Structure 1
Amino acid sequence: MKYVSTRNQSVRLRASQAIAQGLARDGGLLTPEVFPKLTPALLEDLRGKTYGQRAVAVMKLFLEDFSEEELTAFTQAGYSGEKFDDARVAPLEPLTEDTYCLELWHGPTSAFKDMALQILPHLLSASLVKNQEDKTVCILVATSGDTGKAALEGFKDVDRTKILVFYPKDGVSAVQALQMQTQQGNNVGVCAVHGNFDDAQTGVKTLFSDEKLREDLARRGYFLSSANSINWGRILPQLVYYISAYCDLLNLGKITMGEKVNYCVPTGNFGNILACWYAGQMGLPVGKLICASNSNNVLTDFLATGTYDKNRPFHTTMSPSMDILVSSNLERLLFALSGQNDQEVAGYMKQLGEKGCYTVSEEIKAKLQADFYGGFCDEAKTSAIIAQVWKEHHYLIDPHTAVAYGVMQDYREATGDDRKTVFVSTASPFKFCDSVLHSLGVAQVREGLGALDQLAEVSGRPAPVPLASLRDKAVRFEESVDKEKMMDVVLDMLR
């Protein structure tokens, strides 16, 4: 299987090359030429396997230059009991007979990004060996909150790697910021960017496409790669948990083989929901994909109209990981829906860069609306949903998960679709104590990490150990720069 650029199909790489490179040199995203089929027989076989075994079975379909033994070692290390506080790794929590929550936050940073970023460092290190790469890889990451910490934790002290994370100053929660600022490891760096996530993400993409920078770093013995979801090694492990959730529903006797299930995903950069769509293309019985946005509802409008327009106010919300106006992974979906028409996709991306908007063909629009439903929750509704779910189910959710739950309700009311639905929980509520406590009616929230204890008292649930232990760690990284100075930060780190 080869991996091609969404903007130039003449780029053809092996899996290990695609993972090591991260982003195509032309700015496109590397994606598989074809998708292997997930047969009912394979699904039946996966039912009796552990999460790690399911991950190996799915990933080996895409990673032809990796052995099953390698992938088994990676999943055993990545999803071990030392790192995940639930042996099921991605447990499915029933709220009603028709509604299930897929909890993806049981890893070392209490966010769903751990599901992929506990595997990517192993894939990348092995890829360097397979490609006989003698340079050190520098991982550049733009984060809207959770990716940064998960990437830092995954790549901490990994041989022949350095990692530098950029996050929007004042654009992440206090806990998210502290997680990154206190990161340990000799090969890590963290810097805040004045602006929003899109500024940080655009800055990182610019660095990747800068030939002079690449040449300079090569002379110093480095090359750039990415741990954002623009890297195929980030997307692939995310396919697994949708397939695993379906197996769990089968094992619970809630569905029969072949029965379609709806999935509702809180969405920012579009990687998480794209992974579910890809699983559907493989043969997973996916019903409607419900794309849930916060007040930055560019995707909601796009799915309704076929026009993607980032020229709108940017909102800083209580669900910061979704505070995004440029959803990078949408490019991969457009590539697939256009029949892998790289020139059409390159044209859309050129318009986005020059004008901030583009309109897809009527054919693509029809395909989008057949598979996806888009909705959004504003701040007031997000807060009300947190309170509602706690009152009705005694179940605590974070603001991102609340957005998914709220849009799922809207979809059901609008369409009457009563199909069984899995909504995706992407972060522990303890990462957003202030917002959750206020939503539950607490007027006075304690400062700093005291809010962790306060939420534990109110909910009767303990704070995750990785978050509670932050109070014992010293702040290491406090630098902040304008986006035009991001290159200087990179060069300073790699002197």
Structure 2
Amino acid sequence: MRKMDNGPALPTAVGKLTAVEPQRQRFLTVRIIVTTFHSTRSTTDSLTSKQAIRLGLADDGGLFVSDQLGETKVSIDDLAGMSYQAIAQRVLGALLPDFTEEELAQCIAEAYGEQWADEKITPVKPLGDDYVMELFNGPTSAFKDVALQILPRFMARTAPADGDDNEKIMIVTATSGDTGKAALAGFADAAGTGITVFYPEGKVSQVQELQMTTQAGSNVNVCAVKGNFDDAQSAVKRIFGDKKLAARLAKDSHVVLSSANSINVGRLVPQVVYYFSAYAQLLEQQVINVGDEVEFVVPTGNFGDILAGYYAKLLGLPVKHLVVASDKNNVLFDFLTTGTYNRQRPFFQTISPSMDILVSSNLERMLYYMSDKDARLISMLMNDLKQWGAYEIPSGMLAKIRQIFGTGWADENQVREMIADCWNKNHYVIDPHTACGYFVMQQMPRDPLTPRVLLATASPYKFPRVVNESLGLDATGTDFACMDVLAEATGTTAPAALRGLENADVRFDNVVEVDGMEDFVEHAAKTL
């Protein structure tokens, strides 16, 4: 069954895709202090990055963007051999210019230290004729750690909008599986903050659920929701837009709400760094020369992981194509091939639960830039999505998008086949989300002159039962028994934090209806 679209959605017009002229790639990074952020749906706001991070979401429901993105280019000449931390300092300095160099250095040092299992943070390794970038070496074994280890540090260096020194931040986040634990781990016991995480009941893996429900910390709250991720995410957005709730929280508890989802620009921009890190490692391994283009294949549901690659391209990284890999919930595939986004479709619970999403929030940011920053158009499209469950973009805009973004998807059987294929051919174990990307990459026409990097988004030990089934191993016991079988059969080791969940005490067993989420947040805020 072939699900790869080899038409215009996977572009081949090389001449049209150069990110910036070679001479511009060699400019040194220069800070633009006048960088401001506003909503994708209007240009009335004029916020610093610190203010945008603290707020999380614009008042009109839009996502914060900067019209200066791309005016500052990041030098790539000397990336080879540069540490992840040094690359982060350079890239984040361009994206968040109102943070001082000292503030960024402190945030980076705290976020990317001994809690990572690999000193390269996001190491790039050969995978047959291609490459894989491991994004799961952080404390919760998922790519979300890259951003959620540093977001609380960013947040701690923001200031209350009205000067209220007693003001506290309540992080409210919906998760499809991985964001929740990574956010909990990042914000647990962080001064001046609390965190409430909602996840869809019965629609995350056993390991993912235990990661959240056993989380330590005096300021954390976890709750299952009777519904799917889109239900929870939509409710969280409504909570952010509830001005009466905001007034009550401010008056009664001195609490403001913010987000740790990738709708928060502070969650998004740290992910840009690992695209530059991948390029630096390919330079160091002498796979490419400075200025050579690279393709990235990205498993994604909410579009944040791949949007970060687009931001990297705007900053001057020679990205040839960004390829969206979806699972059976292939709403992004349909959009990128037809120009129509339609969430009025069946929702499938798959073996890649973190990608089981029908409303990809971060797509809105890409549409803003691809529409030549037409906030009015974006507002109309998002209103259509809310009112009718669908929208259609202009044909010229779709053609522009398809020059950069390719797409493909894998069904359940193909995901299992790819886990086995990757192990048999490369002796490398991948999780079911990464397997979606691996399948799509196998379907792509290969350009021998352009290296391809697959983003591995989670440890296979977060989904040991599915991986064991795919590899023909025993999958009849608990997830922890499956971990032990997988480790013995493959010679790999389960991350200690995951294996240790077997004996961890469950702290949270709350379950609410979707319409009960607001009351849960209000109660949690009173405990801060």
Q: When the two structures are superposed, what TM-score results if normalisation uses the length of structure 1?
A: 0.97
Quote the RMSD (CA, aligned, Å).
1.4
Query: For residues 179 and 397 of structure 1, do their structure 2 counterparts lie closer, same or farther at Cα, with a shift above 3 Å needed?
Result: same
Q: 1:37, CA displacement in angstroms?
A: 5.2
Aligned partner of 1:395 in structure 2 is 428
Q: 1:84, CA displacement in angstroms?
A: 0.3
1:236-288 per-position Cα deviation (integer Å, ceiling 9, x unaligned): 10000001100110111001111110000001000000000111111100011
Aligned partner of 2:456 in structure 1 is 425
Match of 1:71, SS?
helix
1:25 alignment partner, one of 59, 70, 82: 59
Which structure features the higher share of helix residues?
1
Q: 1:402, CA displacement in angstroms?
A: 0.5
Contact 1:308–1:357 under 8 Å retained in 2:
yes
Alignment of 1:195 onto 2:227: yes
Alignment of 1:411 onto 2:423: no
CA distance in 2, matches of 1:436, 1:329: 29
Aligned partner of 2:408 in structure 1 is 375
Using CA pairs under 8 Å that are at least 6 residues apart, name the structure with larger relative contact order, 1 or 2.
2
Aligned partner of 1:437 in structure 2 is 468
CA distance in 2, matches of 1:88, 1:337: 33
Alignment of 1:181 onto 2:213: yes
Q: What percentage of aligned pairs have identical amino acids?
A: 47
Contact 1:37–1:283 under 8 Å retained in 2:
no
Amino acid at match of 1:431: K
Query: For residues 143 and 337 of structure 1, do their structure 2 counterparts lie closer, same or farther at Cα, with a shift above 3 Å needed?
Result: same
Q: When the two structures are superposed, what TM-score results if normalisation uses the length of structure 2?
A: 0.91
Query: For residues 292 and 150 of structure 1, do their structure 2 counterparts lie closer, same or farther at Cα, with a shift above 3 Å needed?
Result: same
Match of 1:449, SS?
helix
Alignment of 1:93 onto 2:125: yes
Alignment of 1:472 onto 2:503: yes
Alignment of 1:152 onto 2:199: no
CA distance in 2, matches of 1:294, 1:349: 24
2:362 alignment partner, one of 329, 332, 343: 329
Aligned partner of 2:489 in structure 1 is 458
Q: 1:131, CA displacement in angstroms?
A: 7.4
1:111 alignment partner, one of 142, 161, 164: 142
Contact 1:16–1:130 under 8 Å retained in 2:
no
1:362-412 per-position Cα deviation (integer Å, ceiling 9, x unaligned): 121111111111110000000000000000010000000000010111122
Alignment of 1:4 onto 2:35: no
2:98 alignment partner, one of 58, 65, 69: 65
Counting only pairs closer than 5 Å after superposition, residues 27-46 of structure 1 correspond to structure 2 as: 27-36=61-70, 42-46=75-79
Alignment of 1:53 onto 2:86: yes
1:120 alignment partner, one of 136, 139, 151: 151
CA distance in 1, matches of 2:164, 2:233: 26
Aligned partner of 2:20 in structure 1 is none
Amino acid at match of 1:465: A
Unaligned runs of 5+ in 2: 1-34
1:15-47 per-position Cα deviation (integer Å, ceiling 9, x unaligned): 11000000001000001111245657x212332
Aligned partner of 2:168 in structure 1 is 136
Alignment of 1:14 onto 2:45: no
CA distance in 1, matches of 2:298, 2:258: 27
Match of 2:354, SS?
helix
Match of 1:288, SS?
strand
Match of 1:190, SS?
strand
1:246 alignment partner, one of 254, 279, 292: 279
Counting only pairs closer than 5 Å after superposition, residues 203-214 of structure 1 correspond to structure 2 as: 203-214=235-246
Match of 2:79, SS?
helix
CA distance in 1, matches of 2:108, 2:342: 39
Q: 1:356, CA displacement in angstroms?
A: 0.5
Q: 1:418, CA displacement in angstroms?
A: 6.2
Query: For residues 280 and 133 of structure 1, do their structure 2 counterparts lie closer, same or farther at Cα, with a shift above 3 Å needed?
Result: farther
Q: 1:70, CA displacement in angstroms?
A: 1.2
Contact 2:79–2:283 under 8 Å retained in 1:
no
Count of paired positions: 490
Counting only pairs closer than 5 Å after superposition, residues 240-389 of structure 1 correspond to structure 2 as: 240-389=273-422
Aligned partner of 1:170 in structure 2 is 202
Contact 2:473–2:485 under 8 Å retained in 1:
no
CA distance in 2, matches of 1:444, 1:169: 22
Unaligned runs of 5+ in 1: none
Amino acid at match of 1:100: Y
1:65-116 per-position Cα deviation (integer Å, ceiling 9, x unaligned): 21111111111111112x10111110001113x4100000000000000000
CA distance in 1, matches of 2:424, 2:161: 53
Contact 1:93–1:102 under 8 Å retained in 2:
yes
